[in-house]
């Protein structure tokens, strides 16, 4: 139902509204890129058919339709729509919204409360939603770009269903561009290569692709068609969606680490450059590559650690952008190095043994005896100096007597560790022969 008292938009101003606003869907069926939620068999479509909405958390990247879908849900179900942002709202604002919702409920109408950036509310503020969700005063629809499992209270999550909004794929972004061309009644003045680049630059964000298209139309003179280089110059590139303290950061560094571990230098370079392009601290990437060198390569190639530390020094010396090439070199080196987590596994096993066995004294024969008392106690008795033994190997037991000999390090037949394995097997043979 239209509001007769709503302020009317001056004639001619509709065309001056941003393109993304003019193309905002009017029904769930018009929502692009979220068929798993809004399509004929989508979760939200089924809720509407059933005539009942529960509280929900919409989780997804920017520009995927979270706010629009919340508004459409209120229209489809006849619920009053209230919207607040966690960035600008506090406890006092929440109390006002809850009280207004109670008054509506007494009049027989329920309220759909849409909370943008809900993860920015603290624990106490999130808890304040629980009573009004439980008694039906509001249907909460919270929107967040961050992982709800980490950012929202367990109590709130137990009362709301999490629905994931997917980034737009190229097909749904292309569909948005075609709608825009229909509204503007003219084609987007880009050649095929530039149009494909624009879709990629949108980074899965529907609002962004329309904003970029609008910039292109503003820049084009009559009869002009822009190529890829022209496009980059006109729109000055949209910065990638990336927050160095949130999910994008952790997802990409995880992808980089796994590509290195999986010996795929091309994928590793791709994720490295994506993070650098998004403004990631190169020294953070150096630290992570050092970790990869010791965790996933270890002694299969001892030079991996040297190369990663050298890349850090080179970056310190050269700075950006020249120093970033040293990071790329280290990235390719560790991705192509033989892989082994034998030292990593040995370290964890040794640490577990250290915790389990307490403060056991080393065997007395390997302890020094600087005093007569210690010598009288047998410290140092029977110690054999390895350099005086055949093959510079005595084969003595160095573990605490109550613990017994253990094997933690088991190198694989890969890289330099193949040589280390031969040495260990030879020493084990000598130990058996010499009793």
Q: How is residue 226 annotated by DSSP?
A: B
| 159 token code pair | 């009362």
Yes or no: say if 272 and 328 are a contact pair by the CB < 8 Å rule: yes
Q: Assess whether pLDDT exceeds 60 at residue 374.
A: yes
| 57 token code pair | 């958390």
With CA atoms as reference, report the closest residue to 256 among 246, 241, 242, 270: 270
Instruction: Delineate the domains of the chain, giving CATH numbers in brackets.
Output: 34-164 (3.40.50.300), 170-235 (1.10.8), 247-336 (1.20.272.10), 357-433 (1.10.3710)
CA angle 389, 391, 396 (to 5 degrees): 55
pLDDT in tens, 76-133: 999 999 999 998 888 889 999 999 999 999 998 999 999 999 999 998 899 999 999 9
Rounded distance between C-alpha atoms, residue 182 and residue 23, angstroms: 10
Strands across the sheet containing 111-116: 80-85, 111-116, 138-144, 56-59, 161-164
* Res. 246 pLDDT band, cuts 50 70 90: low
Yes or no: say if 19 and 213 are a contact pair by the CB < 8 Å rule: yes
Q: Assess whether pLDDT exceeds 90 at residue 229.
A: no
Rounded distance between C-alpha atoms, residue 313 and residue 283, angstroms: 10
Contacts 24+ apart (CB under 8 A), 348-353: 349/408, 350/408, 353/403, 353/406, 353/408
Q: Assess whether pLDDT exceeds 80 at residue 16.
A: no
| Per-residue confidence (pLDDT) for residue 1, from 0 to 100 | 36
| Per-residue confidence (pLDDT) for residue 268, from 0 to 100 | 95
Q: What residues contact residue 135 under an 8 Å CB cut-off, 6+ apart?
A: none
| Per-residue confidence (pLDDT) for residue 159, from 0 to 100 | 92
| Per-residue confidence (pLDDT) for residue 240, from 0 to 100 | 57
| Per-residue confidence (pLDDT) for residue 364, from 0 to 100 | 87
Q: Which residues pair with 161 in a beta bridge?
A: 56
Yes or no: say if 296 and 254 are a contact pair by the CB < 8 Å rule: no
Q: Residue 162: enclosing H or E segment and its boundaries?
A: strand 161-164
Considering the chain, what percentage of its residues have pLDDT values greater than 70? 93
Q: What is the mean pLDDT of the chain?
A: 89
Q: Output the CA torsion 139→145→151→152 (10° steps).
A: 10
pLDDT in tens, 20-60: 888 888 888 889 899 999 998 899 999 998 888 899 999 99
Q: How is residue 296 annotated by DSSP?
A: I
Query: Using CB atoms within 10 A of its CB, is residue 248 exposed (0-12), middle (13-18) or buried (19+)?
Result: buried
Q: Which residues pair with 164 in a beta bridge?
A: 59
Q: Assess whether pLDDT exceeds 80 at residue 236.
A: no
Yes or no: say if 63 and 72 are a contact pair by the CB < 8 Å rule: no
Phi, psi of 85 (to 5 degrees): -115, 135
Q: Cis link prior to 330 (omega < 30° from 0)?
A: no
With CA atoms as reference, report the closest residue to 284 among 266, 272, 302, 300: 272
Q: Assess whether pLDDT exceeds 90 at residue 244.
A: no
Cα–Cα distance list, 153 to 23, 118, 144, 148 (Å)? 35, 11, 13, 8
| Per-residue confidence (pLDDT) for residue 70, from 0 to 100 | 94
Q: Assess whether pLDDT exceeds 90 at residue 143.
A: yes
Q: Assess whether pLDDT exceeds 50 at residue 4.
A: no
Q: Which residues pair with 84 in a beta bridge?
A: 115
Rounded distance between C-alpha atoms, residue 334 and residue 302, angstroms: 11
pLDDT in tens, 322-346: 899 999 999 999 999 999 999 999 9
Rounded distance between C-alpha atoms, residue 339 and residue 337, angstroms: 6
* Res. 360 pLDDT band, cuts 50 70 90: confident
Q: Assess whether pLDDT exceeds 60 at residue 12.
A: no
pLDDT in tens, 267-283: 999 999 999 988 888 99
Q: Assess whether pLDDT exceeds 90 at residue 247.
A: no
With CA atoms as reference, report the closest residue to 303 among 336, 347, 345, 325: 336
Burial per residue of 193-227, b for 16 or more beta-carbon CB atoms within 10 angstroms, e otherwise: ebbebbbebbbbbbbbbbbbbbbbeeebeeeeebe
Rounded distance between C-alpha atoms, residue 350 and residue 344, angstroms: 10
Cα–Cα distance list, 366 to 65, 380, 390, 399, 401 (Å)? 70, 6, 19, 10, 12
Instruction: Write down the pTM of the prediction.
Output: 0.64
Rounded distance between C-alpha atoms, residue 350 and residue 352, angstroms: 5
Q: End-to-end distance of the chain based on CA atoms, in angstroms?
A: 94
């Amino acid at each position: 139902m239209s509001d007769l008292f709503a302020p009317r938009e001056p004639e001619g101003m509709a065309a001056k509204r941003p393109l993304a606003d003019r193309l905002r869907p009017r029904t769930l069926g018009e929502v692009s890129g979220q068929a798993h939620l809004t399509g004929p068999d989508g979760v939200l479509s089924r809720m509407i058919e059933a005539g009942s909405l529960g509280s929900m958390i919409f989780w997804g990247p920017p520009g995927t339709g979270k706010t629009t879908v919340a508004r459409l849900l209120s229209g489809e179900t006849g619920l009053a729509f209230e919207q607040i942002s966690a960035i600008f709202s506090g406890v006092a604002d929440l109390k006002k919204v809850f009280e207004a919702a109670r008054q509506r409920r007494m009049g027989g109408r329920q309220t759909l409360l849409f909370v943008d950036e809900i993860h920015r509310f603290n624990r106490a503020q999130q808890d304040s939603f629980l009573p009004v969700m439980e008694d039906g005063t509001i249907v909460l629809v919270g929107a967040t770009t961050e992982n709800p499992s980490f950012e929202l209270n367990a109590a709130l999550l137990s009362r709301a269903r999490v629905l994931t909004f997917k980034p737009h794929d190229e097909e749904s972004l292309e569909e948005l561009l075609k709608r825009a061309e229909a509204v503007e009644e003219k084609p987007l003045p880009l050649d095929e290569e530039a149009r494909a680049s624009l879709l990629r630059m949108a980074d899965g964000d529907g609002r962004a692709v329309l904003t970029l298209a609008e910039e292109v139309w503003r820049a084009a003179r009559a009869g002009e068609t822009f190529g890829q280089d022209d496009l980059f110059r006109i729109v000055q590139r949209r910065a990638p969606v990336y927050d160095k303290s949130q999910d994008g950061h952790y997802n990409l560094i995880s992808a980089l680490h796994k590509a290195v571990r999986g010996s795929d230098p091309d994928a590793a370079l791709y994720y490295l450059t994506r993070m650098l392009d998004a403004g990631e601290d190169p020294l953070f990437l150096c630290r992570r590559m050092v970790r990869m060198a010791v965790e996933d390569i270890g002694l299969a190639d001892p030079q991996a650690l040297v190369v990663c530390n050298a890349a850090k020094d080179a970056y310190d010396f050269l700075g950006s952008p020249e120093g970033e090439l040293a990071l790329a070199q280290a990235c390719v080196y560790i991705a192509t190095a033989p892989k082994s987590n034998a030292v990593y596994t040995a370290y964890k096993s040794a640490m577990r043994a250290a915790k389990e066995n307490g403060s056991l004294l080393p065997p007395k024969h390997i302890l020094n005896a600087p005093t007569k008392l210690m010598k009288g106690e047998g410290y140092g008795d029977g110690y054999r100096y390895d350099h005086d033994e055949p093959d510079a190997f005595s084969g003595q037991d160095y573990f605490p007597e109550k613990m017994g000999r253990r094997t933690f390090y088991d190198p694989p037949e890969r890289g330099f560790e193949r040589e280390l394995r031969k040495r260990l097997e030879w020493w084990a043979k000598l130990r058996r022969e010499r009793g």
